[in-house]
Structures are given as C-alpha cells and as structure tokens.
C-alpha cells in the first residue's frame, strides 16, 4: 500500500458509475476521477451505494474497480466499495480489490437481510481476515434496515486490526459521538450524511464520504482543509453554503439527482438502471434551480457564461 492509514482522511468522494446506452462508460468514469483529483479531492471511492452496486453484475463491479485503479494511478488513496448482502460476493470482491491494487476497501452492512449483531460480526471479521488491506466498515441503517452497534465495532476492531474505520451514514449524531469515544479518535470515522460532515470533523472525525463531492469537489475538499487548519469560522461558513445543494441531491433517491446534475453539467450521460428511474419533472426543475444558484449550470433563460 503506497499510502499510510493516516492518509485515509479528508474528502473521499463516492464517484458515481456512469452508463452510456446501458453499458459502463469507462472513459466517462476515468474523466470524472481525473476531475476529482485535479479539484483537490483527498481520495476516490467507487461502487459504494452512490455507485449503484446493486445494479451491477459482479464482473461489472470488478471492471469499475479496475478502471478506477488505473485512473487514480496512485495519485490519491483509492477505496473500493466491496460490500454486498451476499457474503461470498463480498469476499470475492474484497479479494479482487486487493489484487487490483486498491488502497483500502469500504464494506457496507448487508442490506435487506437484517442480520443480528453476531451475524454482522462474523461477516465483517471474515471479510477483513481475507485481505491485508485496511477495511472501512460502512453503517447505513436507513438502507440496510440494521444498525451496526458500537460494541460490535469494538469487537471487530479488537479482533481484526486492519479494520481501521467506519463510514457512518447514521443520522444519530449522539451515536457517532459515542462511537468515537469508545473506539478512540485514532479510529477513522467518516460522515456519510452530508449535513454532518462539518460536525463530524469538529468531534475528531477523519473526514467524510459525501455525494455532494461529485458536483463541487473543490469546495467539499476545502471544508476538510479549513477544519484541519483550525479555520473553524470559515469551515462553518462553507458548511452552510453547501447546505442547499446537500438537500437538493436527495430530493429523490441517491444517486439519481447526482447523476442528473452531472448530466446537466455535461460531465456524463445521466443514465441510471432500473429499478431506479429518471427524476420526476418537478424534482428536475427544483434541481436545476439549485444548480444554477451555484453557477454549475446556466439559469433558465440565460446562456452559459
């Protein structure tokens, strides 16, 4: 691994998986990654929940990881999303990510299955034991319908030292405080909730994995840079500046608004795969208005600058 675990801090952007005419858009993905790195993002992740992993065949997920490794080319840490609600698939993807050259893996709590805490422990411990890479757990109770409890995380950390952190897409900020208190601030806790990115930095978090970084990578990275430099007032101001966009990209289920926005910005085709569907007309108009307010697209009736 060319990067130390300490390098896994800051804005690790969960890059969308672009499609064109129903197929993977590999060139589009590489362009997105280049833009992210040029814009100052501290790390790149693919095939987490923003990357539509449940819409990808395993071979496609592997290909996305491989394309991303080649596009990142060691410039920043690369974190491959390898989680699944199928245990064997998670194992195979995690092993593949190590072989492909990922710097770390992000493993989501199995969705739909609603496993017990013991089931979660055994699942994550087995996956972590299969590789020599740093493993970042991914707790997203809103989609997985199960919460990865703090005591379970502590058990996992004690049993598998390569489990180095957790992405918390948990709206319970008290829970995140208690996780850091229990595990210690050397345990890398990332916000997966856009409105909690700044608060998580304030309590000692390692950074965030924010879908908003797909659209404003420079500003989202700067939020971490300001906090790391102790410029808390400027960081707070930027936090509130980002809030309308943070809200807009969740007017419908992620990643539909983000991919729609990137399409409007001319970055990729906005395609999603069924059962996801394009934005409803009212949502599209609302999203356009917010994007225009940030200068990301031209306002209605105006030509682009």
Tens of pLDDT, residue by residue over 99-125, are: 999 999 999 999 888 999 999 999 999
> In whole angstroms, what separates CA 200 from the centre of its chain?
15
Residue 301 has pLDDT above 90, yes or no: no
| DSSP character at residue 2 | -
Percent of the chain's residues with pLDDT above 90: 95
C-alpha to C-alpha distance for 50 and 243, rounded to whole angstroms: 19
Q: What average pLDDT does this structure show over 291-303?
A: 85
Global pTM value: 0.96
Contact in structure between 179 and 150 (CB atoms under 8 Å): yes
C-alpha to C-alpha distance for 15 and 266, rounded to whole angstroms: 16
The dihedrals phi and psi of 205, each to the nearest 5 degrees, come to: -70, 160
Residue 299: band (very low, low, confident or very high) from pLDDT cuts 50, 70, 90: confident
Contact in structure between 213 and 245 (CB atoms under 8 Å): no
Domains recognised in the chain with CATH numbers: 5-229 (3.20.20.70)
Q: What average pLDDT does this structure show over 263-281?
A: 97
Q: What average pLDDT does this structure show over 274-302?
A: 93
Residue 1 has pLDDT above 70, yes or no: no
157-172 pLDDT tens trace = 999 999 999 999 999 9
| Active site amino acids | 138, 167
The dihedrals phi and psi of 177, each to the nearest 5 degrees, come to: -60, -45
pLDDT of residue 183: 97
């Amino acid at each position: 691994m060319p990067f130390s675990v300490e390098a896994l801090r800051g804005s690790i952007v969960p890059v969308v998986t672009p499609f064109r005419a129903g197929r993977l858009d590999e060139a589009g993905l590489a362009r997105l990654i280049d833009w992210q790195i040029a814009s100052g993002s501290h790390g790149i992740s693919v095939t987490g929940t923003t990357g539509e992993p449940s819409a990808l065949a395993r071979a496609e997920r592997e290909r996305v990881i491989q394309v991303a490794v080649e596009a990142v080319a060691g410039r920043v840490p690369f974190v491959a999303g390898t989680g699944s609600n199928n245990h064997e698939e998670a194992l195979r993807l995690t092993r593949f990510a190590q072989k492909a050259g990922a710097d770390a893996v992000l493993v989501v709590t199995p969705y739909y299955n609603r496993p017990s805490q013991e089931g979660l422990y055994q699942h994550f411990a087995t996956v972590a034991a299969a590789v020599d890479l740093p493993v970042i757990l991914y707790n997203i109770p809103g989609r997985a319908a199960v919460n990865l409890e703090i005591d379970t995380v502590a058990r996992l950390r004690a049993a598998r030292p390569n489990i180095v952190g957790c992405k918390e897409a948990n709206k319970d900020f008290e829970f995140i405080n208690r996780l850091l208190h229990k595990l210690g601030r050397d345990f890398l806790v990332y916000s997966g909730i856009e409105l909690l990115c700044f608060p998580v930095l304030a309590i000692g978090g390692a950074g965030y994995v924010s879908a908003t970084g797909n659209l404003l990578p420079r500003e989202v990275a700067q939020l971490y840079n300001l906090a790391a430099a102790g410029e808390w007032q400027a960081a707070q101001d930027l936090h509130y500046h980002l809030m309308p966009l943070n809200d807009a990209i969740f007017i419908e289920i992620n990643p539909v608004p983000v991919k729609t926005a990137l399409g409007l910005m001319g970055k990729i085709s906005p395609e999603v795969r069924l059962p996801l569907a394009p934005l409803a007309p009212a949502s599209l108009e609302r999203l356009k208005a917010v994007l225009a307010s940030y200068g990301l697209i031209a306002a209605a009736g105006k030509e682009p600058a």
